[in-house]
Chains A and B, each alone.
Chain A
């Protein structure tokens, strides 16, 4: 029963977001779905390319392109081998389409925008990203997206969070 859904995973390369990605691949994704790895970079003034994409975000970058170090460099994203390997596995074993999309701006807003933009059926994210405060149970981005996104949001707990 393929439904061809659009599943988004918020990716900031933190441990939590890697866990979220794995969870989505193991538990949510089905053949025919599209997996969007969404990364939000802080707004950067100078680069003209960024200015162009600051409203709409980057174009959709298929997996085959963004695993290329040259492309990653162009987008100023550090490729994480663990993430690439999860995405690769997803594409091959589950037969899903994998694409990345970058946004520049505030992660809270951009993730909510992405839900509409990419017509996500579901968004999966970690509970805490790279924020400095390690004591809180749930980061501010997750909190905001949980409240404001228009699709179901799955929060995968950060390992080592309070109580684990």
Chain B
């Protein structure tokens, strides 16, 4: 059964989200799929006019070559770590997939659910340990919220105990 699916992975460039990304790439993503990295930035005080526009709709879909260009990513206020870029670049070489990133600004829980509906995503993979302990106690975990409220199947990849 061939691909052509939109597989989303929520990334925040933490160790746990890299684990989720690796899992998605190794277990779900197939030739013909679109791998869509979704990352959420805090709502902000950006001066650049474009970002103000994108705060409402989310960024355009950013293709892989641009993701690897720090100068371009600076404009979005996003700094993908080298390991994440490596995982997706390797995946793009080994399988016939399209890799893009979409950036939203706002509350991660709401925005990830919005991404599922708007992009739209056929399924989503998310780690369970991004927020620090205190934020999690106050806001509740993002992954929990997304599993409950997202409108597509959601896979939660646990971080191992030793991860910070």
Report if A and B associate in a common complex.
Answer: yes
- Could you tell me which A residues sit within 8 Å of B by CB distance? 3, 5, 23, 26-28, 121-122, 127, 137-138, 146, 149-157, 163-164
**Does the CB pair A122–B155 fall under 8 Å?**
yes
- Whether B148 pairs with A138 at a CB distance below 8 angstroms is yes
A28: shortest Cβ distance to chain B, in Å?
A: 7
Nearest chain A residue, comparing its CB with the CB of B150: A157
Give residues in B with beta carbon < 8 Å to A: 1, 5, 23, 26-28, 122-123, 125, 144, 147-158
Instruction: With A5-B27, A27-B123, A28-B28 as known contacts, state yes or no: A150 contacts B158, CB within 8 Å.
Output: yes
Out of B5, B122, B148, name the residue touching A137 (CB < 8 Å).
Answer: B148
A163–B116 Cα gap in the complex (Å)?
14
A3–B154 CA distance with the chains assembled, in angstroms: 22
Say whether, besides A146-B147, A157-B151, A164-B151, A152 and B23 are in contact (CB < 8 Å).
yes
Cα A28 to Cα B1 with chains together (Å): 10
Report which of A3, A154, A164 forms a contact with B155, defined as CB distance below 8 A: A154
Write out the residue numbers on chain A whose beta carbons fall within 8 Å of the beta carbon of B5.
Answer: 27
Alpha-carbon separation in the docked complex, A3 to B30 (Å): 14
Check A152–B155 contact: CB distance below 8 A: yes
- 5 A–B pairs (Cβ distance < 8 Å), ordered by A: A27-B5, A121-B27, A149-B158, A153-B156, A155-B147
Given A27-B123, A138-B147, are A146 and B156 also a contact pair (CB < 8 Å)?
yes
CB of B30 to closest CB in A, whole Å: 8
Report how far A96 CA is from B144 CA in the complex, Å: 31
Which 10 pairs from chain A and chain B are nearest by CB?
A: A154-B155, A156-B153, A152-B157, A137-B148, A155-B147, A138-B148, A152-B155, A154-B153, A153-B156, A23-B153
CB-CB < 8 A to B147: which residues of A? 127, 138, 146, 155
A28 and B148 contacting across the interface, CB-CB below 8 Å: no
